[in-house]
Amino acid sequence: MTTSTTRTREREESVGIRCFVGPRLEDSEAGVGGTFKHRYTDFVVREVDLDGTTAALTVLGPVPGAKGGPTSEVTADAKAEDKSEPVEEAVVEGSWLGDAAALKELEEAVGASDAKRFREFVGRNTPDADGKRKASGPDDSSLVLEPNDDKDGRTQVHRFFKAKKHLRPQIATDTLVDGEKKHVRLFAMEGRDRKRRRGMDKRNFRDARGEPAPLYSKFLLYKENSDTQVALNSLAYFLRVKSKRFGYAGTKDKRGITLQWCTGYKISPRDLENFNRIPVHKRGGAYVGNIQALNEGRALGLGDLTGNHFTVVLRDVREDVREAAQRSVDTLGKKGFINYYGLQRFGTGGASTHEIGIELMKGNWAQACKLIVSGRENENDKVKDARAHLTKALTEPELDPCQKAGNKEARGRMKEVLRELPRGALAERRIAEKLLDFGQQNLVPALESIPHTLKMMYIHAYQSFLWNNAASRRMESYSQDYAVEGDLVFEDQSQRQRSMTYAKQDGDLPGVRCVTKEEADSKSIGIDKVILPLPGRKTRLPENSVREVYEELMARDGIDMTKSAHKVQDFNVDRILGAYRSLIHVPGDVKVDFIKYEEMDQQLLRTDLQKLRNEEAGVGQGSGEGKRMAIKLDFTLSASCYASMAVREICKGSVEGMTN
Domain around 39: 3-45+308-336+586-651
Using the predicted structure, report yes or no on whether residue 270 has a pLDDT greater than 90.
no
The answer as to whether 406 is a domain residue is: no
Domain end (from 581, 609, 625): 581
Return the minimum-mean-pLDDT range out of 25-34, 100-109, 332-341, 461-470: 25-34
Mean pLDDT, residues 143-163:
88
Q: Supply the CATH number for residue 263's domain.
A: 3.30.70.3160
pLDDT of residue 562: 86
Using the predicted structure, report yes or no on whether residue 252 has a pLDDT greater than 50.
yes
For residues 223 and 288, membership in a common domain is answered with yes
The answer as to whether 301 is a domain residue is: no
For residues 27 and 61, membership in a common domain is answered with no
Return the minimum-mean-pLDDT range out of 117-131, 264-278, 317-331, 406-420: 117-131
Mean pLDDT, residues 556-560:
94
How does pLDDT run across 52-79, given as a tens digit for each residue?
999 999 999 898 865 544 332 223 332 3
The answer as to whether 240 is a domain residue is: yes
User: CA 516 to CA 523: how far, in whole Å?
Assistant: 11
3-state class of 90 per DSSP? coil
Q: Give me the residues paired with residue 186 across strands.
A: 143, 173
Using the predicted structure, report yes or no on whether residue 29 has a pLDDT greater than 60.
no
Domain end (from 267, 294, 321): 294
The answer as to whether 559 is a domain residue is: yes
* DSSP for 315-375, written as a single string: ES--GGGHHHHHHHHHHHHHH-EE-PPPGGGG-SSSS-HHHHHHHHHHT-HHHHHHHHH--
For residues 35 and 117, membership in a common domain is answered with no
For residues 470 and 566, membership in a common domain is answered with yes
For residues 592 and 571, membership in a common domain is answered with no
The answer as to whether 84 is a domain residue is: no
Domain end (from 581, 600, 635): 581
Indicate the pLDDT class of residue 473, thresholds 50, 70 and 90: very high
For residues 224 and 181, membership in a common domain is answered with no
Indicate the pLDDT class of residue 185, thresholds 50, 70 and 90: confident
Question: At 322, which amino acid appears?
Answer: R
Q: Give me the residues paired with residue 514 across strands.
A: 488
For residues 139 and 251, membership in a common domain is answered with no
Q: Give the highest mean pLDDT range of 13-27, 186-200, 558-572.
A: 558-572
pLDDT of residue 221: 96
Using the predicted structure, report yes or no on whether residue 15 has a pLDDT greater than 70.
yes
Counting residues of the chain whose pLDDT is more than 70, the rounded percentage is 82
Indicate the pLDDT class of residue 484, thresholds 50, 70 and 90: very high
Using the predicted structure, report yes or no on whether residue 506 has a pLDDT greater than 50.
no
The answer as to whether 407 is a domain residue is: no
Mean pLDDT of the residues in the chain = 82
How does pLDDT run across 81-91, given as a tens digit for each residue?
333 344 344 44
For residues 558 and 622, membership in a common domain is answered with no
For residues 486 and 576, membership in a common domain is answered with yes
Alpha-helix runs per DSSP H in 517-567: 517-522, 546-557
Q: What is the CA radius of gyration of the chain?
A: 28
The answer as to whether 280 is a domain residue is: yes
pLDDT of residue 36: 87
For residues 272 and 178, membership in a common domain is answered with no
**Counting beta carbons within 10 angstroms of the beta carbon of residue 49, is it exposed (0 to 12), middle (13 to 18) or buried (19 or more)?**
middle
Q: Kind and range of the H or E element at 220?
A: strand 216-224
Alpha-helix runs per DSSP H in 507-642: 517-522, 546-557, 608-612
For residues 632 and 552, membership in a common domain is answered with no
How does pLDDT run across 213-231, given as a tens digit for each residue?
889 999 999 999 988 888 8
Phi, psi (degrees; rounded to nearest 5) at 66: -75, 150
For residues 458 and 577, membership in a common domain is answered with yes
Q: Supply the CATH number for residue 542's domain.
A: 3.30.2350.20
The answer as to whether 14 is a domain residue is: yes
**147 vs 7: which has the higher pLDDT:** 147
Q: How many domains does the chain have?
A: 4
